[in-house]
Amino acid sequence: MNNRINKLFQEKKEGILSVYFTAGYPNLDDTIPMIQALQSNGVDLIEIGMPFSDPIADGPVIQHSSLIALQNGMSVSKLFDQLKNIRQSVEIPLILMGYINPVLQYGVDAFCQKCSEIGIDGLIIPDLPLTVYEEEFKTIFEAHNLHNIFLITPQTSEERIRTIDQASTGFIYMVSSNATTGAKATVSDFQKDYFERVNSLSLNNKRLIGFGISNAETFRNACQYASGAILGSAFVKALDGPGTLDLKVSGFINSIVIKS
């Protein structure tokens, strides 16, 4: 079965724009209009954040949005309810991103079953380690045509990058720096070396660069070293303040992708 993520990477070789938002933020019922607005503004891939009370890999912006989302009443079941008919209006690949505990409590089988019914294409679960994934989760994920997206960082050894490449089926999420999400980043020489080092490995999987991509310049720079980049905290931050959701989304996307 063809997965929308694979199709995207086959058709678009560069400048893939992926955007993360926290489901339930700023308002509980923003999920569907948010996804639709992101799609109509030309976003290629969406990461839907499932809020968690203790997001250790996230910086202050996503911690805050997660807290508000939970206070608004967001939960895994609520999110699944909201997404029920999403494929009637949205074609681009959708990924769910969140921490392992809410998935375990929902039940891994039931969770993957729901994802597959809705038309979710992949999952990013930062605290699900490779070994546990392969022993306990892989068969279930694959049965439901779900890609598990792994992360690599500047500290990941070449040997481990190769192991992750072997285990990956969608793309590899290349964390730009040693940081939690939302850290300020520029493409330093250190990062340039890291990006080039990874590119020289001739991996099977394409990469998207995330963490610290916050504006047109960092997006453009990241795109030179990978198939595209992921914006998270910068987008979540842009949802603050007055204005309609549509205007905030289009304003943000236009600030990232300068139309030529």
Partner 1 sequence: MNYQVNEKGYYGEFGGAYIPEMMVPNIEELSSRYLEIINSYDFRQEFVDLLKNYAGRPSPLYLAKRLSEKYQSNIYLKREDLNHTGSHKINNTIGQILVAKKLGKHRIIAETGAGQHGLATATVCALMGLKCIVYMGAVDVERQAPNVKKMRMLGAEVIPALSGNQTLKDATNEAMRDWINNPVDTHYIIGSVVGPHPYPDMVARFQSVISEEIRWQLDEQTGRENPTRVIACVGGGSNAAGAFYHFLDQEDVELIGVEAAGKGIETQETAATLTLGSPGVLHSSRSILMQTRDGQIAEPYSISAGLDYPGIGPMHAHLFKTKRARYIWATDDEVLDSALELTQLEGIIPALESAHALAALKKIHLKPGEVTVVNISGRGDKDMETYLKHFGY
Contacts with partner 1, residue ranges (CB under 8 A): 52-57, 59, 63, 67, 70, 75-77, 99-106, 126-129, 132, 150-153, 155-157, 160, 175, 178-180, 183
Nearer to partner 1, 37 or 175 (CB): 175
Shortest Cβ distance from residue 94 to partner 1 (Å)?
A: 21
Nearer to partner 1, 104 or 247 (CB): 104
Residue 142 falls in the annotated catalytic set: no
Shortest Cβ distance from residue 129 to partner 1 (Å)?
A: 6
Where residue 148 falls (left for φ over 0; alpha for ψ -120 to 50; beta otherwise) is: beta
- Give the whole-angstrom CA distance, residue 43 versus residue 37: 9
- Give the whole-angstrom CA distance, residue 240 versus residue 139: 40
Question: Catalytic: which of 58, 121, 158, 240?
Answer: 58
Note if the bond before 60 is cis, omega within 30 degrees: no
Question: Catalytic: which of 30, 44, 47, 165?
Answer: 47
The amino acid that residue 40 corresponds to is: S
Shortest Cβ distance from residue 217 to partner 1 (Å)?
A: 23
Nearer to partner 1, 102 or 122 (CB): 102
Shortest Cβ distance from residue 228 to partner 1 (Å)?
A: 19
Measured torsion, CA atoms of residues 253, 228, 79, 114, in degrees rounded to the nearest 10: 150
Measured in residues, the chain has a length of: 260
Chain centre distance of CA 204: 20
Residue 11 falls in the annotated catalytic set: no
Shortest Cβ distance from residue 246 to partner 1 (Å)?
A: 30
Chain centre distance of CA 239: 17
Q: For the residues of 77-139, what is the DSSP string, one character each?
A: HHHHHHHTTGGGT--S-EEEE--HHHHHHH-HHHHHHHHHHHT--EEE-TTS-HHHIIIIIHH
Q: Residue 23 in contact with residue 15, Cβ under 8 Å?
A: no
Residues serving a catalytic function are 47, 58
